[in-house]
Chains A and B, each alone.
Chain A
Amino acid sequence: MAETPILAVQGLKTYYHQDEGVVRAVDGASFALRAGRTLGIVGESGCGKSVSARSILRIVERPGRIEAGSIVLQRAGGAVDLARLDAEGREMRAIRGAEIALIFQEPMTSLSAYYTVGNQIGEIIRLHKGVHKAAARKRAIELLAMVGIPRPERRVDEYPFQLSGGLRQRVMIAMALAAEPRILIADEPTTALDVTTQAQILDLLRGLQKQRGLAIILITHDMGVIAEMADDVVVMYLGRVIECGPVDAIFHAPKHPYTKALLRSIPSILARPRDKLATISGSIPHPYDRPTGCPYHPRCADFMPGRCDVAMPAMRAAGADREVSCFLYEEVGA
């Protein structure tokens, strides 16, 4: 990639120090987001995709901590490493929301039940833009209209419980965009929604990206959503990025055994009726019970004893814009 990524995560490690041991939620993840593009982060539960997002925004909850790595954001005034900023400091607070915004999976739990929609959006506008109440309200109505909420001048005075799931997610998006960020992190934005509502929200995100040149990090477990939305894809497993590359390459020429198995095992609407699915044996290990070596080796079809269970394979270039972390590709010397 010739262009400098707008956000580059390098060797990120976020650990949770618990009484029972250390949970390595993110264990050396690297990826880059290009301006105006969509980066899809895909993986099953416990792969560290959400903690990566929280690390970028510096909202990792205790006892979690960023142990190592850098998160470099390109700003008008030069690059800044978010991992080195004080999480509660002035600079980080100016970035959070205003430059990088986040939308969550469950819009009901992330909206306050006690304030009207207009109040909640208005608060962000006043905080980041320093405008008066009346102007903030006017802007809130504009934002609601922009995310396709019908009769925004009425909805602005309603409470979240009066809205349907789809409308609530639109309100979340309006809130996230209130301070005009350049980067939007969407963590499972459509998982709680019905499929027709999901289509509406994905369409809205695509439209907003086109209109405002938003860069989007889309975190999901749904390969279908990735295929529809992402330009670049990062596949994670147990805190590690195991493969990354352009979306077409990931889907049509996957390299890592986990990516291959994952793609084979997803139920597809294009399959023949009553077709059995390919399965991945076993299940995701418990976070306290991490396998040695490559974290995927106990489930891997291409497991090489004495190799995969001993050392961790490094990320290596594997073709144009692609990287993979697997010993199968080390002999070739890439």
Chain B
Amino acid sequence: MTVLEVIGLRKLFPIRKGLLRRVIGQVRAVDGVSFHIEKGETLSLVGESGCGKTTVSRCIVRALQPSAGAIRFRVGDGGAVDIAQMPKRALKPFRRHMQLIFQDPFSSLNPRMMIGDIIGEPLLVNGMTDKSKRRERVEALLELVQIPGAYLNRFPHACSGGQRQRIGIARALALNPSLIVADEPVSALDVSVQAQIVNLMLELQDRLGLSYLFIAHDLSVVKHVSDRVAVMYVGKIVEVAATGDLYARPRHPYTEALLSAVPKPDPRLRAQRIILQGEVADPAHPPSGCYFHPRCRYAVERCRVETPELAEVAPGQWARCHRAAELTLKGVG
């Protein structure tokens, strides 16, 4: 069952200039992104800073209003509803079913609220006014994220980074959401704590049948959590496939370069890396044709003039590259 289906999502930001703040151009932060997430599945959006992955997630939770496209979200066993242009008031019943986990566990918890109140707040806001009932639910949530019940009356400053991230997860789970949007949930944590949170997220998914949209730049972490991975470059998805397929045999030269650039934790594998030249293209002034062509080592004349479409290269593996079928790209593991 499809929980979320995003079709042709676009988000443009105006560039203004001068005294009258006239619009002189547009940044296409998200430029026609489509994907779907099944129940109990993790889809990861990966890419470098500025590729639009966070903007996608913010559009889905409607922290931003999409410029175009559909966001079809299914609640329970009901039909899918397009929430892309829904007015704020009508959105409210849908919001509780999609929750966010943030990157920085230090700034995402109110330092003046006790843990119990932080986790209980979404319950209170959504009408659970009975105090003892709320406490019961908060205690159950703390147990779910493996935090001792005694923390109920503590403040966030008394907790370590890992504990804070667990509290953030408990708060997100308070209303039994079906979709969790996690934007870099472990990138601010120490390695030994990162592993605990990754495992916790995997366990909770199995237990509660959650769907995750996982936004990350770390391809190693992504491999540990994802069923499928979508790679973004300058506002567009350039490749999407099942995790194993994408890592073992990438079909887009950008995916290949990304995988190659990740340091492998084994000194015996010091291989020749693909060093991408130059920098990520400016989404306000993207290059002609394929946006990746100025940095692509396989680029031919066609790539300079013609924009490639996302096409299925192998079963379930889609790539936005003119040469996807003829190239044999190098993966890892």
Contact = CB atoms under 8 A, between A and B. Distances in A.
B217 A276 contact: no
A224 B271 CA distance: 13
A266 B198 CA distance: 11
B267 to A, nearest CB: 5
Contact of A224 (B161, B260, B263, B268): B263
A192 B262 CA distance: 14
28 contacts: A44-B192, A194-B217, A196-B276, A197-B279, A200-B275, A224-B220, A224-B262, A224-B263, A225-B263, A227-B264, A227-B269, A230-B267, A247-B267, A248-B267, A251-B265, A266-B265, A269-B259, A269-B262, A269-B333, A270-B265, A273-B223, A273-B226, A273-B227, A273-B247, A274-B42, A274-B227, A275-B223, A283-B190
B218 to A, nearest CB: 7
B114 to A, nearest CB: 20
A146 B37 CA distance: 47
A135 interface: no
A200 B195 contact: no
A279 interface: yes
A22 interface: no
Contact of B194 (A230, A267, A268, A274): A267
B191 A44 contact: yes
Given A199-B276, A283-B193, A194 B48 contact: yes
B275 A269 contact: no
Interface residues of B, number: 53
Nearest to A150: B278
Top 9 A-B pairs ranked by shortest CB distance?
A224-B263, A277-B195, A273-B243, A199-B261, A194-B48, A267-B220, A280-B192, A265-B195, A270-B333
B162 interface: yes
Contacts of B49: 165, 194
Nearest to A203: B275
A206 B279 CA distance: 20
B156 to A, nearest CB: 14
Nearest to B196: A279
Interface in A273-298: 273-280, 283-284
A268 B161 CA distance: 22
B247 A223 contact: no
Interface string A224-256: 110110100000000000000001100110000
Name the interface size band of chain A.
Answer: 35 or more
A126 interface: no
B219 A195 contact: yes
Interface string A187-204: 000000011111110110
Contacts of A230: 267
Interface string B99-127: 00000000000000000000000000000
A221 interface: yes
Contacts of A197: 48, 279
A45 interface: yes
Given A196-B276, A269-B332, 10 more contacts: A195-B261, A196-B48, A199-B261, A223-B191, A224-B265, A227-B266, A261-B192, A270-B264, A270-B265, A284-B160
